[in-house]
Amino acid sequence: MMQIKPILAALKRHKAGTVLIALQIALTLAIVCNALFIIRQRTEHLSRPTGLTESNLLAVSNRWVGADGKATESLTETDLAALRQQAGVADATMINSYPLRGGGWSLGADTKPSDKDNVRRPTAQTTLYFTDEHALSTMGLKLVGGRNFRPEEVRWVDPRDFETNVPVIVSQALATKLYPDGHALGKPVYLSSTKPATIIGIVERLQVPWTGNWAANFAENSVLLPFLLQGNFGNYLVRTRPGEMARMTKAVPALLFKTNRMRVIPEERGVRTFAEVREQAYKSDRGMAILMGVVCAVLLAITAAGIVGLTSFWVGQRRKQIGVRRALGATRHDILSYFLTENLLIGAGGVIVGAALAIGMNLWLVSHFEMERLSLAYVAVGVIALLLLGQGAVLAPAMKASRVPPVEATRSV
């Protein structure tokens, strides 16, 4: 530490190089902090459980041709019966949407009816899943309270014309939100203005169809209704027996076309295993995380390389001075620590500017995109990482400098 003053004096003679390294460290810190933060934001949802038992689950989207409305009831029932009888299939259900699918039905749920001006102020946003008594076993949901639907409770309805005064199963998250005291079973939940549904069952977890930020505050608020929706579009979920997945991926659409060929199962995304559903739902999140990861790695490598290059140049320039110092009694260790300290000083300057830049850049991103505020822990980690990187990068040239023999002092360049 005795050396700081002479180092500063020496740096003054290399203003350009010093500023360049410090600037590079500052910019790298700013970008790496923000990139890491984006990675965390993008990956924290990747492993969020849907509540479904995702293995051995197949999702099929189906559109009837030439049939719509009420006519689709018997067609769908024939399909479901055929699916449930198929060897290799454990159970099957029809549902309007499912977790991670993207599109679906959402509305506000409340514990009270509308006030006298017919104004509702829903206490919780929720998604509606329209399905039957096979949903729990097909999706592999865990019932933590109450009971499943009974077959006689399930009805076909016109999606533009139904009342929601029926028994419903809700997710634990929604139950807690509506009834924080923990006693939601048997209680009413208003999904329309006047007639309440009754909570008959609670499942441990059930995610909404959307993964976007806008759905983040109701990500696990779901209601299952004992309604099958008429209309030409629907989704089948099929639970296969263990080990039958590969075979069923082909057998299920073949069976459906054999049952009735007047239908369209899209070539793309028509038949998907749930693993594929999950992969596609989070594709851009994962891609963005990988991209940012690659950018960070290359950026750190280039910054380290830049430090090595410039320090090597300095060492080369100062061989004579180093030789003089060695001749005057400086040990190899003194020389080594001189360069390490020099780098630490430049790095410290760089990270101070860089930390400010990182926060400024994040504030700008927050104001222009859907981003959260950067946590200072990231900046702290980034500062330490870059200082260590600098020390690591400078080590090789510094070792080289420490090996300069004292006899160098006597040579002219």
Site for other proteins, rule CB under 8 A: 16-17, 20-21, 23-24, 27-28, 30-31, 34-35, 38, 63, 65-66, 68, 158, 160-161, 192-193, 233, 257, 261-264, 266, 283-284, 286-288, 290-292, 295, 298-299, 302-303, 305-306, 309-310, 312-313, 316-317, 365, 368-370, 413
Beta carbon nearer to other proteins, 48 or 286: 286
Beta carbon nearer to other proteins, 246 or 301: 301
Which of helix, strand or coil describes residue 271?
strand
What DSSP designation does 147 have? -
> Minimum Å distance from CB 301 to other proteins?
9
> Minimum Å distance from CB 338 to other proteins?
19
CB 397 within 8 A of CB 308: yes
> Minimum Å distance from CB 265 to other proteins?
9
Kindly report each contact of residues 324-333 with a partner whose C-beta sits within 8 Å and lies 24 or more positions away, as own/partner: 324/409, 326/404, 326/405, 326/406, 326/408, 326/409, 327/406, 327/407, 327/409, 327/410, 332/402, 332/403, 333/402
> Minimum Å distance from CB 329 to other proteins?
26
Helices (H), 282-372: 283-317, 319-327, 332-368
Distances (CA, A) of 21 to 3, 299, 390: 20, 14, 10
Which of helix, strand or coil describes residue 113?
coil
Beta carbon nearer to other proteins, 62 or 172: 62
- Helix (H) / strand (E) containing 22: helix 15-43
Which of helix, strand or coil describes residue 185?
coil
Sign of CA dihedral 195, 116, 127, 185: negative
> Minimum Å distance from CB 58 to other proteins?
20
Beta carbon nearer to other proteins, 19 or 185: 19
Beta carbon nearer to other proteins, 109 or 135: 109
> Minimum Å distance from CB 309 to other proteins?
5
Pull the structure tokens for residue 373.
């505020």
Neighbours of 314 (CB within 10 A): 17
> Minimum Å distance from CB 233 to other proteins?
7
What DSSP designation does 412 have? -
Among candidates 63, 125, 69, 37, which has minimal Cα distance to 256?
63
Beta carbon nearer to other proteins, 152 or 161: 161
> Minimum Å distance from CB 242 to other proteins?
31
Beta carbon nearer to other proteins, 222 or 362: 362
CB 296 within 8 A of CB 36: yes
Kindly report each contact of residues 213-216 with a partner whose C-beta sits within 8 Å and lies 24 or more positions away, as own/partner: 213/370, 215/106
CB 317 within 8 A of CB 339: no
Beta carbon nearer to other proteins, 144 or 372: 372
Beta carbon nearer to other proteins, 226 or 231: 231
> Minimum Å distance from CB 305 to other proteins?
5
The Cα 1–Cα 401 span in angstroms is: 19
